[in-house]
Structure 1
Amino acid sequence: MQGGDGDVSFDKNSFGAAAAIASSEQMLTSAIHSMELTQGVHIQIANLGIGDGGHTFSMVDTVVEVLRRKLAVINGGTEPEFEVYFSDLRLSNRFFSSFSGLESQVSDDSRLKLIFTTLMDQAWQDLVDEGSIEEDRRDAFNIPLYLRNTEEVTAAIESCGGFKIEKMELLKIADPMNARQQEFIKDPDSYGRAMANLVQAAQIKRKVEAYLGPDLTNTFYERYAVRAANNKEFLTKNSFYSMIAVSAIRVWY
């Protein structure tokens, strides 16, 4: 994800992630309550996510608080000490690599489809039409984006071994940008900038910049913003994110 705290940082554009975290918090809390814990004064927690910014910590705060209350009863009031590890998952990690290469359809009411397919294709075509790049160079660029369905997620977890799925839900989350619809209708350019910032925050800027260089990358996102601002159909449409929330426990054989 794009770090920092600028306009294109993930921290400033992760409202979708925030909504997803809020929607899955009840499942997370329930999973912690279902754990069979013994007395403990030193608890270690690993966050194996790939996010950046405040939402990375908010989820851990929830875990710590629920565990603190649960262990306070078990420990007879003794306050446990928590140690948290934050680590990006790498492709060498078996649990993460099990999800690589999985593809599924993106629903028509998902803003993800507009962000990563329609507008990206149009912005690339603009660079071709302007003579900034050749068609072959456009066609050679690829975004490693994978969206899974529930069957694929189940198969991936089972292939890891050692995990048992307790609960799985497919959540349909209203896009927080829907609340700004009237603002965007009055000022489409602000919608274009918001969409361009959003796609850059999702680590796409680094990939495009490594491929095109900084100057042409700036031009690319300018064209992207214009295309988004001119997309009147999607501008007036309420969008949703689909998210698969899974609660799985470690099984020791």
Structure 2
Amino acid sequence: MQGGNGDGSYARNSEAPASAIALSKELLLNAINCMNLFRGEPSLRIADLGCGTGINTLSAIDFVVESIKKRYARESISVPEFEAFFSDLPLNDFNTLFRSLPHLCPRGIDEMQKQHSYYAAGVPGSFYERLFPRGKLHVAISLSALHWMSRIPEAVLDKSSPAWNQGRAWIDGARKEVVEAYAKQSEEDLKSFLRCRAEEMVPGGLLFILMAGRSDEHPQNQLGDPYSRAKHPFTQAMDQAWNDLVKENLIDEETRDAFNIPAYMRSKEEIERAFNQCEAFDIKSLKFSRVMEHSKEKQEKWMRDPVSYGKTKANLVRATLRPIIDAHLRSSHLSQEIFKRFEKRVAEDMKMLNKTCYYGIIVVSAIRK
């Protein structure tokens, strides 16, 4: 994710993840109210896996800590201290994240102590690998992160392979072989994630996951209805932006074809199968929901001002994809040209502007056996 606090940062372009997290809070609270309270533990250890940066990250940990505290208090049990581990890839903007921690902001001593509800630490690394010692964690959450894959399947980048994804940046509507390659990699990733968490979590520990997902059993249909598929930032306008750069001789076709977005929207069936194969967790809840791309008020505003909508949508793409586009093109100038073409394409598509895009999400709560 793009760091910092600028217009194109993830911290300022995460309305959809915020809506998804808000929608899942009741499920998270229910999970916390059913989890083991770990009597006699001096401290409880909570990990936010794929934490990113911004208010979503901090509000989620605050919610978990305060909800557990209330449960201890209701049952008249001594409240332990809390350790919160914020984990993401090494290039994540941990500096901005930690500067935003409430107990590190300038305040009077009394107020600072009041806000210091947990001890924070950063843990860099991929959640597809081990991040913590065995039996370390009591709670692990991952919010709006697990649909990102560990890598692009090699077959998708191989011109001689039937899975070569020529002319597309992503897989929705792509050939069967392309989608199958993504699905296989996604399956391996989820198994790795669960295997690592199984080793790191204590028996009775809570695993809570929110990820982008799909309701359709067929992986070719990653995004549901036709308008969501056409309006999603990974699809139509994204492909058009890359093709614009090819037509303008700013990049060649090989450079375009070598770029693929490492994301996959799993179905409930795929997730349940991975948990069953892992055999280390009991699923307590597994639900699919949809959230709107943005509020109706914002949509009405942007219909009157398409240019503003184009900028907003381009900032969303910058927030989520700029680091990997920069790395692929090895040029911040060229990546900016991609975003400019994307912004222009979105602003000019008046037919799509008044359509509603929905994001599918899947929420899972499970207990370590």
Q: Indicate which of 259, 272, 275 corresponds to 1:141.
A: 259
Q: Indicate which of 331, 335, 338 corresponds to 1:220.
A: 338
Pairs within 5 Å for 1:1-253 = 1-40=1-40, 41-76=42-77, 78-88=78-88, 90=126, 92-93=128-129, 100-101=185-186, 103=219, 105-107=222-224, 108-110=226-228, 114-202=232-320, 204-212=321-329, 213-251=331-369
Secondary structure of the 1:176 match is coil
Whether the 8 Å contact between 2:49 and 2:127 is mirrored in structure 1 is no
Unaligned runs of 5+ in 2: 89-124, 131-141, 151-182, 188-218
Q: Deviations over 1:191-236 (max 9, x none)?
A: 111111001111x111111222111111111111000101112210
Identity of aligned residues (%): 40
- Answer 1 or 2: higher relative contact order, Cα 8 Å, separation at least 6: 1
Offset of 1:99 from its aligned partner?
8.9
Whether the 8 Å contact between 1:106 and 1:112 is mirrored in structure 2 is no
Q: Deviations over 1:118-157 (max 9, x none)?
A: 1110001111111111122211211111111111111222
Unaligned runs of 5+ in 1: none
Over 3 Å counting, the alpha-carbon distance change for 1:177 and 1:207 in structure 2 is farther
Q: Report the Cα distance in structure 2 between the residues aligned to 1:235 and 1:113, rounded to whole angstroms.
A: 8
Q: Deviations over 1:18-65 (max 9, x none)?
A: 001010111110011111324344221122234321111111111111
Q: Report the Cα distance in structure 2 between the residues aligned to 1:177 and 1:216, rounded to whole angstroms.
A: 32
Whether the 8 Å contact between 2:313 and 2:346 is mirrored in structure 1 is yes
Q: Report the Cα distance in structure 1 between the residues aligned to 2:50 and 2:335, rounded to whole angstroms.
A: 28
Stretch deviating more after TM superposition (212-221 or 101-110): 101-110
Whether the 8 Å contact between 1:39 and 1:75 is mirrored in structure 2 is no
Q: Deviations over 1:54-104 (max 9, x none)?
A: 11111111111111011123344x443111111126164279769942555
Whether the 8 Å contact between 1:47 and 1:85 is mirrored in structure 2 is yes
Offset of 1:112 from its aligned partner?
8.2
Q: Given the two structures, how large is their TM-score scaled by the length of structure 2?
A: 0.63
Q: For residue 84 of structure 1, what is the amino acid of its counterpart?
A: A
Runs of 4+ in 1 over 3 A off after TM superposition: 73-76, 94-100
Secondary structure of the 2:234 match is helix
Over 3 Å counting, the alpha-carbon distance change for 1:38 and 1:135 in structure 2 is closer
Superposed CA RMSD in Å reads 2.3
Secondary structure of the 1:51 match is coil
Q: Report the Cα distance in structure 2 between the residues aligned to 1:135 and 1:119, rounded to whole angstroms.
A: 17
Q: Given the two structures, how large is their TM-score scaled by the length of structure 1?
A: 0.90
Alignment-derived partner of residue 167 in structure 2: none
Q: For residue 218 of structure 1, what is the amino acid of its counterpart?
A: Q
